[in-house]
Structures are given as structure tokens and as C-alpha cells.
A and B are shown apart, each in its own frame.
Chain A
Amino acid sequence: MLRLALVLLCAAATLTAGPAFADSRHDESEPCVASDTRNVEPTSTAPDWYIPGVTQLCKPEVTDKSGEGDVLIPTAYWVYYENPPGYAKWRTTPDNADYSANDCENSYTTCGQKIMGDAPWFYDTCTNIYGLTAAEVAGNIRYWADRARANGPGWRVYTLTEGGGYPYRCEFSVVQLY
């Protein structure tokens, strides 16, 4: 009975938030980042199983072959938009998100300038409200960058505010552009 309960508990945990394991290209003992376009609730930290730079995508990234891929975007600044109207968000490509992750590890107090246009506000929110270290913020950005890559071309990393543009939420997720 106890064994059955444990099995069910493990199964439930895997279905809700767990990493993907089953893929012919991967060692089944190693978790990997799978394509998932449904479970995109913004988070403030990466899942425990995700190790930046170590955890790989379950399937190789499908690159944009249109000739207008991410590499042509010349700026490190994230793009402001609202969706729905009044709800401020900033989005960027997975590669540029990784750039910001490095930026935050190197200079936590200034990296928010490129992410959401206000470094002190970003730093204050991420540290004092969310209690996050630079490594945690960077790891979360990298996790969502990999999630965007796993989902395919047209997916971007974004961060957001509450309605009306205040307060900022030190959380990230992915959004599909096309």
C-alpha cells in the first residue's frame, strides 16, 4: 500500500513540474529541457533539476532558417510590449536572454537596465521582494531561454509587471511570437 502511494506521488510530481527524461537521444538518467508550450506560468527560480550550462535540451534546437533569425538582432535591450494592454512586459531572444543572465551574474545591480529599463528597480525587486541572488536570477533566465529554444523558433523569453505597470515581478517565462 505504501509502495503504491509512493509510486502515485512520484508520478504526480513528474506530471506537474518534473523534467523530461525519455528521449532516445538522451541518457535516461539525465533530465533535459523538453518542448512544452502549455506549462508557461512565470517563475522566479529555475526548477531544482535544472543546472545552467549542464542540463541540455531533450531534442536539438530547431534554428530559424528564414534568414531573419535571432543573430540579426543587434541590441542587448529587451523589447517593451503590453499584453494584455496595460500589463507591461519585456521580451527578448533566448541568446540575448543568456547574455542578460551573464550580465546579472557579473553586475546584478545594473543588469536590469537592459532587461526592463530600470536597473535599481529590477535589483530592488529581485533582492528585497523575491530574495533572489544573482545566480538564482541568472539561472532562471537561462532556464527559460532553454525552454524557448526547446519550443522552437519564434519563442521568446519575457518578464513582466502587475497590471498598470506596477510593481515589477522578478519572474520570467516564454511567449510565442510566431
Chain B
Amino acid sequence: MKARLSIASVAVAASALLVGAAAQPNPLSAASGASAATQLRVDLSTGLVDGDQILGKPIAGVTAALGKPTWRKPGTRTYRLGYGSQRTFTTMVTFRRTPAGFRAVSIVFEKPPVIDSRTNFNVLALTPRAFAERMSRHYANDLARVDGPGCRKRICTVTFAASTRNLRVTFGRTPTSGSFLNLWRTI
């Protein structure tokens, strides 16, 4: 994935990581390490990833923005591509077939520190409940909780809907891959 962060933003992100790690220890973040090349900034109210609107883009548009994927899973109705190993990916983008071709409908982050651009906090260091609390505090005017937080089997999730866009934000945790953040929208 392209390294897009300036030295200043990396410093801000790193400090946020340290604060976040102290508040909510996350074995996943500690294990994967913090790399400037894999840090992404997301705006949870708009779905922007490092300033790019990934959702809605065609496959070529997504790979132009995020770089060459390490794996692809073509299908007739859906198409997925990802970065990192397929089983323990860092980022995965899912496309849905539309009359205009495949369009990105979901982007899932699992491994890299993902910095919320509004709070400068690594959201992957949070539990679903802590994520829900932070969203209620910082995004009260932009995001409304529509589902959770709750656990089913060993998968815990909480989902928010953006008030002005057809955007959903699902944050969750699985026992195998730890925390994940899914920015998605319907077609």
C-alpha cells in the first residue's frame, strides 16, 4: 500500500497509538507493529481513507488509490481483493457487480493501525463497546448506532449509520483476527 503520510501526521498518529495502547491494550496492534507505510487515516463520517473515497470506486480506481493488492477473489456477483495474507489480511475491499461494473461496497481493516482522523486514535486498539462509546462522544451528529454492541457466538460487533450518506460503519472483534473496522455501503 502506498505510503502517504507526512512525517508530521506519522508523529501525530504514533503519539495517538501510544495513548491508545495505554488506554486499551490490543495484542493485535502490538503483534503487527506500527509501520508508517501501513498506517491509514479514516474519516468515519464520510468513509474517506487517506482522503480518498474508496467506496463506489471501480476495481482499477481502488488499486490506483491503495496500491497493487496481494490477492484477488473474482466472482460473478462479488469481487474481493486484499492486502497481506488472505487469512490475516491488513485490508480487504469487496466489490458488488452493478450495471456499470464492479463497484467497491466495503473496505475492511484488520491489521494496520487505523487512525480516526477526527480523534487521532487507533480505532483498532478498541473493544466494540469502547468504540461505541467513542463514536457516541465524537460523532454524535454524524453517526447513529443502528446495531449492537453485541456478541453472537464469538463475533462481537457494533454498527453505526452515517446521517448524511449511505454509509455504515461496523466495528467488531473475532477471536482469530482481533479487531476489525468495516466501512460499507449498500447499492
Are A164 and B155 closer than 8 Å at their CB atoms? no
Distance in angstroms between the alpha carbons of A122 and B154 in the assembled complex: 15
Please pick, from B157, B168, B177, the residue contacting A86 in the complex, using a CB distance under 8 A: B168
Are B168 and A164 closer than 8 Å at their CB atoms? yes
Q: With contacts defined as CB atoms under 8 Å apart, how many contacts are there between chain A and chain B in the complex?
A: 77
A141 to chain B, nearest CB (A): 17
Q: Which of A88, A117, A129, A166 has the most CB of B within 10 A?
A: A166
Please pick, from A121, A167, A171, the residue contacting B174 in the complex, using a CB distance under 8 A: A167
Distance in angstroms between the alpha carbons of A165 and B82 in the assembled complex: 14
Given known contacts A86-B105, A162-B170, A128 and B147 CB-to-CB distance under 8 angstroms: no
Given known contacts A80-B78, A86-B185, A120-B86, A167 and B106 CB-to-CB distance under 8 angstroms: no
Given known contacts A44-B153, A120-B87, A124-B176, A166 and B106 CB-to-CB distance under 8 angstroms: yes
Contacts of A82 in B (CB 8 A): 186
Are A162 and B172 closer than 8 Å at their CB atoms? yes
Residue in A closest to B94 when the chains form the complex, CB atoms: A165
Contacts of A129 in B (CB 8 A): 153-155, 174-176
Residue in B closest to A82 when the chains form the complex, CB atoms: B186
Are B78 and A117 closer than 8 Å at their CB atoms? yes
The answer to whether the Cβ of B182 comes within 8 Å of any Cβ in the partner chain is: yes
B105 to chain A, nearest CB (A): 7
Given known contacts A124-B176, A129-B174, A165 and B106 CB-to-CB distance under 8 angstroms: yes
List A residues 66-116 near B (Cβ within 8 Å).
80, 82, 84-86, 88
Are B106 and A164 closer than 8 Å at their CB atoms? yes
The answer to whether the Cβ of B92 comes within 8 Å of any Cβ in the partner chain is: yes
The answer to whether the Cβ of B99 comes within 8 Å of any Cβ in the partner chain is: no
Contacts of B90 in A (CB 8 A): none
Contacts of A44 in B (CB 8 A): 153
Contacts of B186 in A (CB 8 A): 82, 84-86
9 shortest interchain CB distances as A-B pairs? A164-B184, A85-B186, A86-B186, A164-B182, A80-B77, A128-B176, A164-B106, A166-B108, A165-B94
- Residues of B participating in the A interface, judged by any CB pair closer than 8 Å: 73, 75, 77-78, 80, 86-87, 92, 94, 105-106, 108, 147, 152-155, 157, 159, 168, 170, 172, 174-177, 180, 182-187
Query: 13 pairs across A/B with beta carbons < 8 Å?
Result: A82-B186, A86-B186, A120-B86, A121-B86, A124-B87, A128-B175, A128-B176, A165-B184, A166-B94, A166-B180, A167-B172, A169-B153, A171-B153
Extra contacts, 19 of them, besides A80-B78, A86-B186, A164-B182 (Cβ < 8 A), are A86-B185, A88-B78, A117-B75, A118-B73, A121-B86, A124-B87, A128-B176, A129-B153, A130-B153, A162-B170, A162-B182, A163-B182, A164-B159, A164-B168, A164-B183, A165-B78, A165-B184, A166-B180, A166-B182
